[in-house]
Amino acid sequence: MPHSGAPGRSAVSSGASLQGLMASREIVVACGPGGVGKTTTAAAAAAMAAVRIGGKVLVVTVDPARRLADALGLEGIGNIERQVPPEAFAAAGVKPAGELWAAMLDTKESWDALIATHAPDARTRDEILANPLYRNISGRFVQSHDYIAMERLFEIHATGNYDLIVVDTPPTRNALDFLDAPERMADFFSSRLLRWLIVPYRSKLVNFASKPFYQVADRILGTQFLEDIAQFFILFQTMYDGFVERARSVQRLLAERCTSFIVVSTLEAVPLREAEFFAEALTDRKLHLGAIVLNKVLPAYLRDPGGAAVAERLRDHSGEVAGLLSGAMEGDEQQLQRVLAEIGQSYVDYRVVAEREAEQQAELGTVPEALVSVPFFDTDIYDLTGLLLLGSRLWGD
Amino acid sequence: MTGLLDRRLVFVTGKGGVGKTTVATALALFASERGRRTLLCEVDAKGDVASYLETGPTAFAERQVLPDLFAMSMDTEASLREYLKLNLRIPVVGRIGPLARAFDFVATAAPGVREILTVGKLCYEVRERHYDLVVVDAPATGHIVGQLAAPQAINELVKVGLIRSQTDWMVEILADPARTGLVIVTTPEEMPVNETMELAGRVERETNVELASVVVNRVLPELFGRSEEEVFDALCRPEPARALDTAVEGDAGPVLAAARLAVTLRRTRAGHLERLRAGLDRSVPMLYLPYLFTRFHGLRTIRQVARSLGEELGF
């Protein structure tokens, strides 16, 4: 079994369960700082929902580890949703009650699809797709990832094909970026400044060279670049209404009763602080904070007072203990002494970290409906068996 | 390859949660302790640098925090203001309001504008030789390539104008391995190692910046060698384990379980380390920093990391 620690002992859940949450919502968004196992947690929760709750469950992930992508059959398929083959469940020894589907978010492809939907005609569509600024925004622009993830979610939800959609969010510079992205996108395209900036390019009647603002803009950015910007926005204006309307709908969907958020973190100080900030932000926005999932929590036996006393004894009196063991252990007594001292010291070291983590957890400011601790898995999760094992911890089995 | 401390501009990046800011701060502290006049710049202004150095908040205007160590946090609007003051010498600087709004707008529309103001400010400090070394607590792996490639990208997007001529010298500084280098911080775990290898490839293909080092943070201590592990395995068998309980007059179970955990963790991580070493160009130095079993994360920890970093750098 690829897990360690005392099963069950360190898994704590309070009040409502993740299972209840996932059975009662249509959309569950996993968010939180990077590097805490967000993607794996989203996949594991979705897999468990497919097994235990049933129905059609889709997990949309952003950037899964290659082996996880392989396990979900996601390799190289981009935006298309694929069913995780029932054989994969059979191999893991489970008969799922429902179906598990998976899709990966391809930002560029999603943007192009969005343009195709909203462009008034084929010519405008092609011009936008060819605009250097658009190519930059869709390919590299960090905030565009945030927006498109939510936009994709909206689109998939609207198809009504799935009973539950679990979304893994992109790592953001600022935890709040993707929450604000639809609103910002709408503001951006309705800005007065935007109109101001493109005026000279719309009407040749305005001698823009005489206006200090354009003079400065031109000196800094160069005419070609300003023209690219202007062309981009003029083209985009044809899609303005559809686009802004869409961004608002996405925003509304996130706030609806059918949507809940899970904040994933570890008990390390920096990610935890970020996660708490995030949980507060969700609450402030009246979005539904369904659960906080704490990953990689060290096993509770590391905080056992008796264990600490034994460890200190082993570390400080290894010679004496080795002597007492001479009847039960063959071999080099000095080597045994070194091993005893080493395991004593190791326990004391890990205990410091386990205590620190426990303290961090106790100080958690925001109390969600469900708080789930998942023990440290000492090997990586790379197949459905591993996902379901993690999932059963999430469920609090 | 030019030594890390012999460069003038070092970007430190890494996947979220691997200790990027810790390593950047420790590197800057170590350099300053070696007598290098060092500027540490936090790009994503989260305030972690200030808390690690146990000092007040940092701002765009750099501030001395320790002997030879200066700290600042990036603010692209302030950077634009400084840039305009230095380069345009036009009265609009006094009325920054509308320009700032326009800037905010253009920066949102045109990727690279914010990045170039960040990189521009850093390169400017290097060009003007205000410091011996500028250490940048750079954006996380997902964003660093965009930042480092910004001057080049702007060069391609903007054919003429002031920015175009301004990016030429930035590209020159960034592309010079004697002056500029990138450090990727990682931990010996699956995803950070994958991202590090992917990033190393992208840096090579998409930027002109040299990968100066990979720092592996939180390397777990090796509990024992092979023959000692056999002793440990023997100790875990039922009869010796019972004898151990008697010898220590208590339950040794938690201690044995913890040792087993430590051994397995170390072993899984060693596998990822091997994968990383095999996946990186041989010429890229790897520096290893130990896992710190500490209670708090402050100046004391940073000093410990700085010391380990110094040893790894051969000082």
pLDDT digits (tens, 9 = 90+) for A158-186: 999 999 999 988 766 555 666 676 666 66
Amino acid at B242: R
Query: How many CB pairs lie under 8 A apart between chains A and B?
Result: 230
Rounded CA-CA distance A105/A111 in Å is 11
pLDDT, residue A204, reads 46
Q: Do A84 and A108 have their domain in common?
A: yes
Residue A16 or residue A134, greater confidence: A134
Question: Pick from B146, B163, B257: which is nearest to A221 by CB?
Answer: B163
A273 & A312 share domain? no
Residue B204, beta-bridge partner list? none
CATH number of the domain enclosing A118: 3.40.50.300
Shortest alpha-carbon distance between residue A387 and chain B (Å):
15
Selected for mutation to probe chain B from A225, A268, A277, A381 (highest B CB count within 10 Å) is A225
Q: Give the chain B residue nearest A313 (alpha carbons).
A: B248
> Are A140 and B146 in contact (CB < 8 Å)?
yes
Residue-level pLDDT at B302: 96
The overall pTM is greater than 0.95 = no
Percentage of chain A exceeding pLDDT 70: 75
Instruction: Give contacts of A353 with chain B, Cβ < 8 Å.
Output: 293
Asked if B287 contacts B187 with a C-beta cutoff of 8 angstroms, the reply is no
User: In chain A, which residues have their Cβ closer than 8 Å to the Cβ of B194?
Assistant: 65-66
What pLDDT score was predicted for residue A120? 87
Render pLDDT for A4-40 as a digit per residue (tens, 0 to 9). 333 333 334 444 688 999 999 999 999 888 778 888 8
Domain boundaries, chain B: 4-221+282-312
| Cα–Cα distance measured from residue A151 to residue A111, given in angstroms and rounded to the nearest whole number | 9
Within a domain: residue A182? yes
Among B243, B294, B297, select the one facing A328 at the smallest CB separation: B243
- pLDDT for res A147: 75
Q: Is residue A5 part of a domain?
A: no
Instruction: Assess if residue A103 is contained within a domain.
Output: yes
Task: Say if CB B24 and CB B135 are below 8 A apart.
Answer: yes
Q: Which amino acid, residue A308?
A: A
Q: Concatenated DSSP letters for B4-22?
A: GGGSSEEEEEESTTS-HHH
* Residue A274 and residue A290 in one domain: yes
Same domain, A260 and A132: yes
Residue A338 lies in a domain: yes
Chain B from 35 to 74: CB within 8 A of any A CB = 44, 48
Q: Is residue A75 part of a domain?
A: yes
In this model, does residue B3 exceed pLDDT 60?
Answer: yes
Asked whether the beta carbons of B212 and B205 are under 8 A apart, the reply is no
Q: Looking at beta carbons, which residues of chain A come within 8 Å of B140?
A: 34, 171, 173
* A369 against A94, higher pLDDT: A94
pLDDT-derived band at A200, boundaries 50, 70, 90? low
Question: Which residues in chain B (78-97) have CB-CB distances under 8 A to chain A?
Answer: 88, 90, 92
Dihedral sign for Cα atoms in the order B128, B133, B138, B142: positive
Same domain, A110 and A193: yes
CB atoms A219 and B164 under 8 Å: no
Q: Residues A276, A255: one domain?
A: yes
- pLDDT above 80 (res A238): no
Amino acid identity of B174?
L
Give mean pLDDT, residues B228-232.
93
8 A C-beta contact, residue A218 and residue A188: no
Mean pLDDT confidence for A362-372: 81
Range picked from A27-36, A366-375, B211-220 for highest mean pLDDT: B211-220
Average pLDDT of span B115-136: 92
β-pairing, A82-83 vs A56-61, is unpaired
Going by C-beta distance under 8 Å and a sequence separation of 6 or more, which residues neighbour residue A317? none
List all residues 6 or more positions away from A350 whose beta carbon is below 8 Å from its beta carbon.
A298, A302, B258, B261, B262, B293
Cβ distance of A352 and B239 shorter than 8 Å? no
Q: What is the mean pLDDT of chain A?
A: 81
- The pLDDT value recorded for residue A59 is 93
* Substitution target from A191, A298, A378 for chain B, most B beta carbons within 10 A: A378
Q: Cβ–Cβ of A34/B140 closer than 8 Å?
A: yes
Residue A6 lies in a domain: no
Residues 147-186 in B contacting A (C-alpha not used; CB under 8 Å): 153, 157-164
**Which of B139, B136, B141, B181 is CA-nearest to residue B27?**
B136
Residue of B146, B163, B256 with shortest CB distance to A220: B163
Question: In whole angstroms, what is the distance from residue A111 CA to residue A109 CA?
Answer: 5
Give yes or no for residue B214 having a pLDDT over 80: yes
**Whole-number CA gyration radius for chain B:** 23
Q: Are residues A135 and A80 in the same domain?
A: yes
pLDDT, residue A1, reads 34
Which tens digits make up the pLDDT trace of A69-92?
777 766 666 678 889 988 889 989
Alpha-carbon distance of B186 to B253, in angstroms, equals 33
Question: Among A189-198, B30-39, B167-176, whose mean pLDDT is lowest?
Answer: A189-198
Yes or no, beta carbons of B109 and A339 under 8 Å apart: no
Domain that holds residue A171: 13-302+356-394
pLDDT (tens digit per residue) in B10-64:
999 998 778 999 999 999 999 999 999 999 999 987 778 998 999 999 999 999 9
Given A137, A331, A347, which is nearest B111 (Cβ)? A137
Q: Which residue has the tokens 């395995």?
A: B233
Q: Are residues A37 and A85 in the same domain?
A: yes
Model confidence pLDDT, tens digit, residues B73-114:
998 878 877 877 776 655 444 445 555 555 665 665 555 677
- Scanning every residue of chain B, which has its alpha carbon at the shortest distance from the alpha carbon of A233? B109
Report residue A13 as tokens: 């859940």
Q: What is the ipTM of this complex?
A: 0.87
Q: How many C-beta atoms surround the C-beta of residue B130 within 10 A?
A: 13
**B18 and A CB contact within 8 Å:** yes
Fold of the domain built from segment(s) B4-221+282-312 = Rossmann fold (3.40.50)
Which pLDDT score, from 0 to 100, does residue A141 have?
53
Q: Is the pLDDT at A222 greater than 80, yes or no?
A: no
| Residue A3 within any structural domain of the chain | no
In the block, residue with structure tokens 């964003």: B143
Contact A331, B242 (CB under 8 A): no
Decide which of B297 and A63 is more confident. B297
Q: Are residues A185 and A320 in the same domain?
A: no
Tell me the shortest Cα–Cα distance from B42 to chain A, in angstroms. 13
Among A133-147, A367-381, B265-279, name the most confident range. B265-279
> Over 50: is that where the pLDDT of B296 sits?
yes
Distance CA A220, CA A197 (A): 14
Has residue A97 got a pLDDT over 60? yes
Give chain A positions within 8 Å (CB) of B161.
Answer: 218-223, 225
pLDDT score at A9: 32
B8 touches chain A (CB under 8 A): no
Instruction: Report the residue from A223, A225, A299 with minimal CB separation from B157.
Output: A225
Instruction: Judge whether A150 lies within some domain.
Output: yes
Q: How many domains does chain A have?
A: 2
Show which of residues 218-277 on chain B sit within 8 Å of chain A, judged by CB atoms. 221, 223-224, 227-228, 231-232, 234-235, 239-240, 242-244, 246-248, 250-262, 264-265, 268
- Quick one: A99 and A176 in the same domain? yes
Residue A253's pLDDT is 92
pLDDT at B246 over 90: yes
**pLDDT at residue number A114:** 84
Contacts of A267 (CB under 8 A, 6+ apart): A294, A296, A297, A356, A357, A360, A361
Q: Which chain A residues touch B298 with a CB distance below 8 Å?
A: none
Alpha helices, H only, A83-205: 86-91, 107-118, 122-130, 132-139, 142-159, 177-190, 192-202
| B201 min Cα distance to partner chain A (Å) | 16
- pLDDT computed for residue A25 by the predictor: 95
pLDDT band at A193 (very low <50, low <70, confident <90, very high): low
Going by the DSSP 8-state scheme, the letter that residue A367 receives in this structure is -
CB A2: neighbour CB atoms within 10 A? Answer: 16
Contact A230, A201 (CB under 8 A): yes
